[in-house]
Amino acid sequence: MWTQTTDPLGLLWLSALVAALPIVTFLLCLVVFKMTGIKAAGIALLLEVLVALWVFGMPAPSVAGAGLLGLLTAIWPIAYIIVMSVWLYKLAVASGRFDVIRSSIAQISADQRIQVLLISFSFGSFLEGVAGFGVPIAICAAMLVQLGFRPLKAAMVSLVANFAAGAYGAVGIPVIVGAQVGGVDVMELSRDLVLILQPLTFLIPFLLVVILDGWRGLRETWPATVALTVVFSLSQAGILIFLGPELAAIVPGLLGMVTLAALGRVWRPRRIFREDGVEAPSLERHTPGEVVAAWSPFYILTAFVFVWSTPYFKGLFLPGGALDWSVLTLPIPGVTEQITTAAGAVVASTWSWTPINATGTALLLAVLATYLTTSKITGAMFLGQLQLTVRELWRALVLIGVILVLANIANLSGGSASIGNALSAAGPLFPLFAPIIGWVGVFLTGSVVNNNTLFAQLQATTASEIGVGSTLLVAANTAGGTAAKVISPQSIAIAAGAVGLSGRESEILRASIVYSAGLLAFISVWTLVLSLTGISLH
């Protein structure tokens, strides 16, 4: 049994600085030295192993076990979900259905500013709510490329747009997990997220238009931008305040699409904006029935993921449930009950293989249903698109695997806790840094869920020590993590793979990092203001 230490050097700030070296190195390799994502991650991983072994004293078997747990998690469920979602998208393209979808969206408006609001913001929010795990980024970025966007711009705006729904992905799981781990009420946490995130959510549609076409674009599209952001933000705030997080991405996304479609019947911008002045693709007109049929893969996807997300279905796989036999749990050598945290808890981390109730299986069933209900998809096309998906995504999946290996070693060695503890020493100023902890958590793991699993308890405990509401700091942890999703290596790898820029992740990072940093800065300062004023919705 090995016990973590969060201050191996005897100076907490110095231990935290050393623990942060792999993260800083990864960023420098991408941004300054312009390395590929895989090469940068490989260097950072090597440095993380050295830090874990020689600085934090983690035994070599535990380092290997932590890395194995990260690799297995990258394969299942993350890679499984990504491959299934992109396979579904490619089948829609190969069958010709995506051409109808593209036409139905473009007929609402040929203006690319409106298309971004429709696809990356509204449709992306809907997909984030029903699936999460990078699905909206992959699908929306690819859709924008099909509509004539440059790949880099398509990837970047899809990453930024995902901020509005990133905290509520997969039917609100990040918020629910944050409440459970932090020991706070989920409704109170939802309401504090309204306070922290809603001002920024309201501004995201305006930001997307400015990214594409500057202030001139905002002046020309303000009716659509204002209508969308009012409907989206108010509905999202209302749902969070009165219902909780489960529908906080799904319903606003749907309402956003309906709002823009309805507005498109009575208003259009005077100037149609296209990148580089390129003409809009020629479009066929389709009957309402053809449009409904074309969107059916995503209806099917929504139905399966919704069923998979219901408490009844999940209960079937809990201990004692009717299908608990289908959950295979594997202890990890060197990790499971072999590590004690600095707080005295024994690490019980295991890897679970859940072939039936995994979100990826819901996606697989949507793929199979789409194949069986689409006569144009032959068996050869069906399997060929899977092969093409894997061939195009393998670099992104390798990068995700390396990053999760690094993240698990950092977490289980005590390095991540060292960074968090150093920031918590700020006392009354800690709320200023609380979102940064969440940012680091998502940058490491790529998941707001994992971030809250790691740091929600730290945030809640520190809040009690400094006399601040626990739900506020757990909300800040969630919000900071949502800002990190814009540039987390996993998100960027998914976006790069979806638009054909694998190996050029550094370009996407450089284009996106200023927005992630700006969002984080606002969240940090605003959290401090809220902590000092005591403003609350509960």
403: left (phi over 0), alpha (psi -120 to 50) or beta: alpha
Task: Give the C-alpha separation, 82 to 399, whole Å.
Answer: 13
Task: Confirm whether 191 is domain-assigned.
Answer: yes
The pLDDT assigned to 246 comes to 82
- pLDDT of 100 higher than 80: yes
Rounded (5°) CA angle 301-149-275 = 150
Cis ω for the linkage preceding 77 (within 30 of 0): yes
Torsions phi, psi for 459 (to 5 deg): -65, -45
How far apart (Å, rounded) are the C-alpha atoms in residues 382 and 384?
A: 6
Give 136-164 pLDDT, tens digit per residue: 898 899 889 888 899 999 999 999 999 99
In a domain, 386, yes or no: no
Three-state DSSP state, 113: helix
Q: What is the pTM of this model?
A: 0.76
Residues 6+ apart with CB under 8 A from 285: 103, 107
Query: In what helix (H) or strand (E) does residue 352 lie, and over which residues does it extend?
Result: strand 350-353
Band of the pLDDT at 419, cuts 50, 70, 90?
Answer: confident
Higher pLDDT, 26 or 72: 72
Rounded to 5 degrees, φ, ψ at 376 are: -75, -15
- pLDDT, residue 63, reads 97
Domain annotation covers residue 437: no
Helix (H, G, I), strand (E, B) or coil at 346: strand
Cα dist. 437→320, 393, 424, 484, 517 in Å? 37, 30, 9, 10, 13
- At 283 the pLDDT is 62
Q: Is residue 448 part of a domain?
A: no
| Residue 198 maps to a domain | yes
Q: What are the angstrom distances between the C-alpha of 237 and each of 22, 118, 202, 248, 472?
A: 38, 20, 10, 8, 16
- pLDDT of residue 324 exceeding 70, the answer is yes
Q: What is the pLDDT of residues 269-298, one digit of tens each?
A: 989 898 876 666 666 778 888 888 888 887
Q: Cα–Cα–Cα angle for 340, 176, 139, nearest 5°? A: 105
Write out pLDDT tens, residues 190-209.
999 999 999 999 999 999 99
Using the predicted structure, report yes or no on whether residue 450 has a pLDDT greater than 80. Answer: no
| 158-to-44, 518, 521 alpha-carbon distances in Å | 26, 17, 21
**What average pLDDT score do residues 247-271 get?**
91
Residue 509: inside a domain, yes or no? no
Report the share of the chain in percent with pLDDT over 90: 48
> Residue 160: inside a domain, yes or no?
yes
Residue 106 lies in a domain: yes
Domain count, the chain: 1
- The whole domain housing 146 covers 98-270+281-294
| Pairing relationship of beta strands 328-331 and 350-353 according to DSSP bridges | antiparallel
Position of tokens 């979102």? Answer: 435
Q: Which helix (H) or strand (E) segment is 350 a member of?
A: strand 350-353
Question: What local confidence, expressed as pLDDT, does residue 536 receive?
Answer: 79
Q: Which helix (H) or strand (E) holds 477?
A: helix 470-484
CA 143/CA 155 separation, integer angstroms: 10
N-to-C CA span, the chain: 43
